[in-house]
Structure 1
Amino acid sequence: MGDRWRVEVDRSLCIGSAQCTHVAPAGFRLDSAMQSHPTEPEMDAGEEILEAAEGCPVEAIMIALVGSGEVVFPPEE
């Protein structure tokens, strides 16, 4: 079994660019307020999800390992 990620979107930062929904349509959706949400709070680790987080123009997506809470994205400065 592979890693599981907890994915969160900071609604105070999200500008509704929908970049995440284009890169990882199975992982993100926009609500009626044009704010992004993960389709599930926990999901299998995957390149598309990481690419969506990396491509977010305002870095509103946070990914951490389920269990340990180790941050996958954004990288620590």
Structure 2
Amino acid sequence: MKKFTFSDMNRASGEILEAALIEPVALTKRGKEKLVILSAAAYERLAGQTHTKAYRLEDAPDAVHDELMAGLDAILDDTAPDA
């Protein structure tokens, strides 16, 4: 993530906003990140993640259940002792 100071924002706001369309940009004050500027699409992706639906295993749709079980199988395969 690129970092700019608040003073940079006053001098080169156009450049900073263009950069924020490509990747999130941090604005710093006294060396500490205070703000992050990101594109609307990136924000929507983040906001959408906060509305993830939770399921109990027995109530999960087949696709969710299958993905979970495949992940668990992969973990168990990695932790199994070699014969």
TM-score when scaled to structure 2?
Answer: 0.26
Q: Which of the pair has more CA radius of gyration?
A: 2
Greater share of strand: 1
- Higher relative contact order (Cα pairs below 8 Å, separated by 6+ residues): 1
Q: Which one has a larger percent helix, Structure 1 or Structure 2? A: 2
